[in-house]
Amino acid sequence: MVGGNETVTIVGKGMKKRIAFIAHNQKKAQIVSFAMHNRKLIESLGLDVVTTGSTGDRLEESGLTIYKKYKSGHDGGDIDIASRVVDGKIIGVFFFTDPMSAHPHDSDISSLIITCNIKNVPLATNPRFEFEYGDVTVLEQMKEAVHGCDAIIHLASIVGFPACKSQPALATAVNVEGTRNMLFAREAYNPKMPFVYASTGSVYGKVEGTCIEESPLNAVSLYGVNKRVAEEMVATQDNTVSFRFATGFGVSPCMRVNLLVNDFVYQAMTNKILTIFQADFRRTFIHVRDMAKAFTMGIEHMGNWKHKVYNCGANRLNWTKRELAEYVKEKTGCFVHYEEIGKDADQRDYEVSYNKLEAEGFKCDVDMKTGIDELIKVSPILQIRHQYS
C-alpha cells in the first residue's frame, strides 16, 4: 500500500494505452491463464496488448487480440519493450520470469526491469501478484484491501526527516493516521491476523551509550515522532511486532539513493568526492535483503517471540561515518573532505544492540563490504529521483 503522494501515468489525448505481456518458457501457461482471467478487464479499459514473440503466439492461440508482437526476448524483444516504456507508449508490464533457469540475455531482462522502475511504470513478475491502487489515509479503501489477506506488512510511510519536514501534514496523515487505519481495517476483518510494522531507529533521537529496546525514546524530528506514535499504537494490539530498523542500504529494483551508504557510494562514483560532517557519529545499517528476511520471520514466528518491539540490524554493522567514508574511498579512489559544518536532524550518534532479535534466531546475511561492492557495480546506471525534496 502507498499513501499520500501517488504516482500516476498520464496518457496524452489520442494516445492508445498499451500493456506488455512477456513470459519465459516455463511461465507461458501461467501468463496465458492470467491474461484470460483478466481479458474482460483489459477490453473494458481499452488496452492494447503488446508482447514478445512466442508469448504473443500463445496468447493469440488462446483468443487474445495482440496489437503488436516484438521479437523474442533472446533476439532483443525485451529491449524493444524497454524502449517503448521509455517513450511512454507502455503503461504497465507483466513479465513472468523463470529465476531457476539460465538466460543468455540476462542483461536485457535486467535493463527492462530497471527501466520500468526508473519510469514509474508498474511491473509485475509473479503470477500471484495483485496490485491495489489505494491510499492508507482512506479507511474504507483499507478495509476492502485487507479482505482475503493472511498477514499485513505495513510499510506505507513518508520516510526520513527531510521529506516529513517539507510536507508535515502529509507525513502525519500517512505515518500516523495511515497506521491507525490499517489497524482498524485489520480489526474489522481479522483481529488476529499477523501484523508487522516497519518502524525506525529514529524513534530514539539523541541517546547516550548503547541503544537497547528499553532506551528512552527521545525522537527529535517529525519523522521520529510520527513513527514512535504509530509504533505505540501497534504495540497495543495482539499478534503484532515492530522492527526498529537500522538505516537500509543495498541494491534493489526501486532503490533510494538518499540513504547514507547508497549516497556515499553514488557520490563517490559520480562526483569522485565525499563531503562528510559529524564524521565520528556512529550509525547502524542493514541490507535491504535482510530487511525482507526480517519481515518473513516476523510473520512466521511472532507467536513464539518474547517481545513486541525489536531493534533490527546487526552488531557488526555499527559503523562511524568516518569508517564508512574511508572504506568507500578505499574501494573507489574518491577524495574525502571532512567538514565542520552540518548536522543530522535526527541526532543519531549511538551504537545499537541487536541481541534480542538475534536471540530469536535472526541474523543478517549481507555484510557492509558485500553491499558496497554491489552498489559500485550498479551506480553507473542509476538515475536519481528525490520525490519529496
Which one of 57, 75, 78, 349 is the catalytic residue? Answer: 78
Instruction: Provide the Cα torsion 379, 284, 153, 176; round to 10°.
Output: -110
Give phi and psi for 319, each to the nearest 5. -125, 150
Please check whether residue 154 is in contact with residue 146, taking contact to mean a CB–CB distance below 8 angstroms: no
Is 98 labeled as catalytic in the residue annotation?
no
Label each residue of the chain as H, E or C. CCCCCCCCCCCCCCCCCEEEEEECHHHHHHHHHHHHHCHHHHHHCCCEEEECHHHHHHHHHCCCCCCEECCCHHHCHHHHHHHHHHCCCCCEEEEECCCCCCCCCHHHHHHHHHHHHHCCCCEECCCCCCCCCCCCCCHHHHHHHCCCCCCEEECCCCCCHHHHHHCHHHHHHHHHHHHHHHHHHHHHHCCCCCEEEEEEHHHCECCCCEECCCCCCECCCHHHHHHHHHHHHHHCCCCEEEEEECEEECCCCCCCCCCHHHHHHHHHHHCCEEEEECCCCEEEEEEHHHHHHHHHHHHHHHHHCCCCEEEECCHHHEEEHHHHHHHHHHHHCCEEEEECCCCCCCCCCCEECCHHHHHCCCCCCCCHHHHHHHHHHHHHHCCCCCCCC
Give how far Cα 386 sits from Cα of 121, 302, 371, Å. 17, 35, 22
Give phi and psi for 225, each to the nearest 5. -65, -45
Residue 179 half-sphere exposure, CB side, CA atoms within 13 Å? 27
Task: Find the length of the chain.
Answer: 389
Q: Which residues participate in catalysis according to the annotation?
A: 78
